[in-house]
């Protein structure tokens, strides 16, 4: 089993020193190697004939069925699949141990820039588990799920209010699908006017990484526009490429440098004058809730990432939610079904409307969107109520506090006040022979999830930190101190960074070989061995 199968002889600080005598380390009380368990693949735990449970046999009051005869030859395997054969406790331990290797916002600070890894309040889970929501079946008729439809309708109204746009669809399953659905609406809008020559989408280099991919996936060609020396987009740069072949612009605001696009109104004006529409990636909405409404500054269509901004499960804990809000021009093209509200004899009645929108781009997601994710988002929004702007104020304050404290040691890529996240480059430590990757890996030794690195692409060795509003001053100070310590180490003992992480379940992984010669299946692994 190797390392960590029982107790480990590791004292706090030993692992930080990485075996280098005289390393200038004062181990803090944060170090907690703890008990760590190795765990093989579940296939490797398998023993022939072992079972979790066995259905009672021989006392059924139904007739035996021959599956081969019932299913036909094509659907019935001659040989049983080689599935792992394990007992129930082995299954439970397997997955519990894997979960213990994981890192989550419930375990600690998670400053992954551009991802808004805020704490997810547990009340979200409580409402999502209410039987009236959790046990709904998607095929239930509308009259049996009025409460669920009302929740979706109310959530749409709140999102429209925050967006400053009149109509909403909750169907897209996450941000990238919101981009897809929004661009489909833009294309359908142009086509409905007989304008079929608009085949291009403008995307600034400070946009979110998925934007050009979504445009290309939608059959558009991408025109990239460089941002200026301040890290923002100039209306003139958009003007230079805007013509009658441009369907629209995709912009992320605040952009991926954590800077608000101050010229956004003028930029939208240029695109509108040229006959195009403006899509806004709402990934960074956490910075401007109740402060600036995209519809008010000229946006025609946008998505929210409810898993970022409104505290629903995120990443591997998904699924996500990427609702889109649109202007009146684009409203007829929203996906169906739409949630309709009308006045009945006993109050409002809600229904799913499939047929009342003949220009709709159609359905983009099986069933009705990730419903329980929206129960969580709605709960969160109702919990905050009118204090929504306070979320953004605290998120921006935390990021600026961190920027101000760290700018003594690290170089801020675009100086000046930031929004909810701050981007550093590698110029303050590159000359020590240390890379951004090394700094990120070393943070693991101090008990922090590394920030986003090497993104955005227009910053050399980018290190992008987003503390969110849910971290305390103490948590942020601890992170700053770890970053300062690491900077001093980079100067005086760069080997410490190159060897990091030492205080982790796995040391530095060989990402290059993993990318060059990936082993993705158990069968492949067996062959390699």
Partner 1 sequence: MDIPENYRFSDDHEWTDDQGDGTVVVGISHHAQDALGDIVFVELHGEEGVLEQGDDFGVVESVKTVSDLFAPVSGEVVAFNEALEDEPELVNEDPYDRGWIVKIKMSDPSQLEELMDAEEYEAFLTEGA
Chain residues that interact with partner 1, rule: CB under 8 A = 437, 454, 457, 460, 511-512, 515-516
Nearer of residues 383 and 460 to partner 1, judged by Cβ = 460
Within 10 Å of residue 458's Cβ, how many Cβ atoms?
17
Bridge partners, 168 (sequence order):
325
Nearer of residues 89 and 433 to partner 1, judged by Cβ = 433
Within 10 Å of residue 16's Cβ, how many Cβ atoms?
23
Contact 493, 502 (CB under 8 A): no
Nearer of residues 195 and 460 to partner 1, judged by Cβ = 460
Tell me how far, at minimum, the Cβ of 460 lies from partner 1, in Å. 8
Phi-psi region of 208 (alpha: psi -120 to 50; beta: other; left: phi over 0): beta
Six-digit token string for 71: 């299913």
Whole-number Å distance between alpha carbons of 199 and 202: 10
Contact 85, 46 (CB under 8 A): yes
Give first-to-last CA distance, the chain, whole Å: 17
Tell me how far, at minimum, the Cβ of 241 lies from partner 1, in Å. 16
Within 10 Å of residue 520's Cβ, how many Cβ atoms?
7
Tell me how far, at minimum, the Cβ of 436 lies from partner 1, in Å. 9
Nearer of residues 71 and 457 to partner 1, judged by Cβ = 457
Nearer of residues 257 and 437 to partner 1, judged by Cβ = 437
Nearer of residues 134 and 457 to partner 1, judged by Cβ = 457
Tell me how far, at minimum, the Cβ of 453 lies from partner 1, in Å. 8
What is the torsion angle, in degrees rounded to the nearest 10, for the CA atoms of residue 376, residue 377, residue 383 and residue 388?
160
Tell me how far, at minimum, the Cβ of 509 lies from partner 1, in Å. 11
Nearer of residues 136 and 213 to partner 1, judged by Cβ = 213
Whole-number Å distance between alpha carbons of 339 and 296: 24
Question: Longest Cα pair distance anywhere in the chain, in angstroms?
Answer: 81
Tell me how far, at minimum, the Cβ of 492 lies from partner 1, in Å. 24
Burial of 355 (0-12, 13-18, 19+ CB in 10 A): exposed
Tell me how far, at minimum, the Cβ of 423 lies from partner 1, in Å. 15
Nearer of residues 160 and 202 to partner 1, judged by Cβ = 202
Tell me how far, at minimum, the Cβ of 516 lies from partner 1, in Å. 5
Instruction: Give the sign of the dihedral formed by CA 379, CA 383, CA 384, CA 386.
Output: positive
Whole-number Å distance between alpha carbons of 327 and 168: 9
Tell me the H-state helices in 73-122: 88-101
Whole-number Å distance between alpha carbons of 213 and 222: 9
Nearer of residues 213 and 388 to partner 1, judged by Cβ = 213
Tell me how far, at minimum, the Cβ of 458 lies from partner 1, in Å. 11
Contact 225, 258 (CB under 8 A): no
C-alpha distances in Å from residue 324, one per residue of 1, 71, 316, 500:
49, 43, 22, 42
């Amino acid at each position: 089993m190797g390392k960590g199968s029982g107790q480990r002889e590791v004292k706090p600080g030993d692992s930080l020193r990485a075996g280098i005598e005289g390393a200038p380390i004062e181990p803090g009380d944060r170090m907690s190697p703890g008990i760590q368990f190795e765990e093989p693949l579940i296939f490797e735990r398998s023993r022939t004939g072992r079972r979790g449970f066995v259905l009672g046999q021989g006392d059924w009051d139904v007739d035996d069925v021959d599956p081969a005869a019932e299913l036909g030859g094509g659907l019935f395997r001659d040989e049983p699949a080689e599935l792992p054969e394990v007992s129930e406790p082995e299954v439970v331990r397997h997955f519990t141990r894997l979960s213990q290797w994981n890192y989550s916002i419930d375990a600690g600070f998670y400053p992954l820039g551009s991802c808004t890894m805020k704490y997810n309040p547990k009340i979200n889970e409580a409402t999502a588990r209410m039987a009236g929501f959790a046990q709904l079946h998607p095929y239930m008729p509308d009259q049996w799920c009025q409460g669920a439809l009302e929740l979706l309708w109310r959530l749409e109204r709140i999102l429209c209010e925050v967006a400053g746009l009149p109509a909403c669809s909750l169907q897209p399953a996450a941000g990238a699908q919101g981009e897809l659905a929004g661009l489909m609406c833009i294309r359908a809008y142009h086509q409905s006017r007989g304008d079929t020559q608009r085949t291009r989408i403008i995307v600034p280099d400070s946009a979110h990484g998925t934007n050009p991919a979504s445009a290309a996936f939608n059959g558009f060609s991408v025109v990239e526009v460089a941002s200026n020396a301040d890290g923002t987009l100039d209306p003139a740069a958009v003007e230079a490429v805007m013509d009658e072949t441009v369907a629209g612009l995709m912009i992320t605001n605040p952009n991926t440098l954590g800077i608000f696009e101050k010229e956004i109104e003028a930029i939208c004006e240029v695109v509108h004058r040229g006959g195009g529409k403006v899509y806004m990636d709402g990934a960074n909405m956490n910075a401007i809730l109740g402060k600036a409404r995209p519809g008010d500054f000229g946006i025609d269509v946008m998505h929210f990432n409810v898993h970022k901004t409104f505290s629903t499960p995120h990443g591997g804990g998904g699924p996500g939610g990427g609702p889109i809000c649109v202007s009146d021009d684009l409203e007829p093209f929203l996906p169906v079904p739409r949630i309709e509200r009308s006045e009945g004899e006993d109050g409002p009645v809600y229904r799913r409307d499939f047929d009342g929108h003949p220009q709709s781009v159609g359905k983009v997601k099986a069933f009705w969107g990730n419903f329980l994710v929206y129960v969580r988002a709605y709960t969160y929004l109702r919990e905050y109520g009118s204090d929504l702007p306070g979320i953004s104020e605290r998120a921006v304050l935390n990021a600026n506090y961190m920027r101000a404290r760290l700018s003594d040691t690290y170089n801020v890529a675009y100086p000046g006040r930031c929004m909810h996240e701050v981007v550093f480059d590698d110029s303050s430590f590159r000359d020590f022979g240390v890379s951004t990757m090394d700094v990120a890996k070393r943070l693991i030794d101090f008990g922090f999830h590394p920030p986003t690195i090497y993104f955005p692409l227009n910053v050399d060795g980018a290190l992008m930190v987003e503390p969110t509003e849910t971290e305390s001053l103490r948590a942020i100070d601890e992170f700053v101190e770890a970053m300062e310590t690491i900077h001093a180490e980079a100067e005086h003992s760069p080997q410490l960074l190159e060897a990091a992480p030492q205080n982790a379940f796995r040391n530095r992984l060989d990402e290059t070989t993993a990318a060059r010669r990936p082993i993705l299946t158990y069968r492949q692994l067996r062959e390699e061995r």
